[in-house]
Amino acid sequence: MKLCILLLCIAAVILNSCLGVSADITIKADGSGRIALTYRVSQTLESVGRLDGNEKLPAVPVSKLDFERTVSRIPGLKLSKYSSKNVRSASGSGDLVTNVTLDFKDSSALLAFLDSSGSRAALVQTGQGSLLRLNLLDPSETITNPGLLSLLREVSDGYELAITFSLPGNAGIEMLPSVPAAKLASNGKKASFSIGMGELLSLKDGAVLEIKW
């Protein structure tokens, strides 16, 4: 994948489509772990993931074949489970709900899946432990057109980005800069984050998520 899974949500909404992502990421002490993803994709966006060689659109992995191709490009990543079904969204339109479980053998595989460019996701060791840093939204990507922003907030209503982390040590989580609309929580070895896609797109100063353990 050419875009971080989290950044993919932003790109999808910018394309006037809707996408919600829930991710449960488990990281073990040896760096291996599991990613359980649930995609809610508007059916207008579903075909985007099946376009090969299109550099202007984000590669949205939706079908099982999409994920198999993604896994084949990342050493140490395995597709363990896949299911997909059509459901009716709150607005009455059709959504494709996809559930995927991926296992990674080390942090390199995790980072490659989150961001193959290597510039938006990083895992570093500090004097206090480990720090996973995810650049969700760069300030250069913010939307300044009021009319466009209003439209995107409307079409993204009901879609959110939610991530839960299960970690090998006591967890902490922080969003930079702090955003009232974001929900952050940590308890023991778990940390969680969620924000509506409309609120995320409205941020003017970018958004960075830091997870510590």
pLDDT score recorded for residue 118? 78
Give the integer Cα–Cα distance in Å for 74 and 118: 13
pLDDT in tens, 167-196: 999 999 999 999 899 999 999 999 999 998
Question: CB of 94 within 8 A of CB of 88?
Answer: yes
Query: Has this prediction a pTM greater than 0.85?
Result: no
- With cut-offs at 50, 70 and 90, classify the pLDDT of residue 43: low
Domain architecture of the chain: domains with CATH: 5-212 (2.60.40)
pLDDT at 81 over 70: yes
Tell me, letter by letter, the H, E, C secondary structure of the chain.
CCCCHHHHHHHHHHCCCCEEEEEEEEECCCCCEEEEEEEEEEHHHHHHHHCCCCCCCCCCCCCHHHHHHHHHCCCCEEEEEEEEEEEECCCCCEEEEEEEEEEECCHHHHHHHHCCCCCCEEEEEECCEEEEEEEEECHHHCCCCHHHHHHHHHHCCCCEEEEEEECCCCCEEEEECCCCCCEEEEECCEEEEEEEHHHHHHCCCCEEEEEEC
Model confidence band, residue 9 (pLDDT cutoffs 50, 70, 90): very low
Distance in angstroms (rounded) separating the CA atoms of residues 177 and 183: 13
Q: What is the mean pLDDT of the chain?
A: 80
Amino acid at 9: C
* Pairing label, strands 94-104, 172-176: unpaired
Rounded distance between C-alpha atoms, residue 206 and residue 203, angstroms: 6
The per-residue pLDDT for range 108-132, each reduced to its tens digit, is 999 998 887 778 899 999 888 999 9
Position 20 scores a pLDDT of 80
Q: How far apart are CA 36 and CA 27, in angstroms?
A: 12
Q: Which residue has the higher pLDDT, 80 or 44?
A: 80
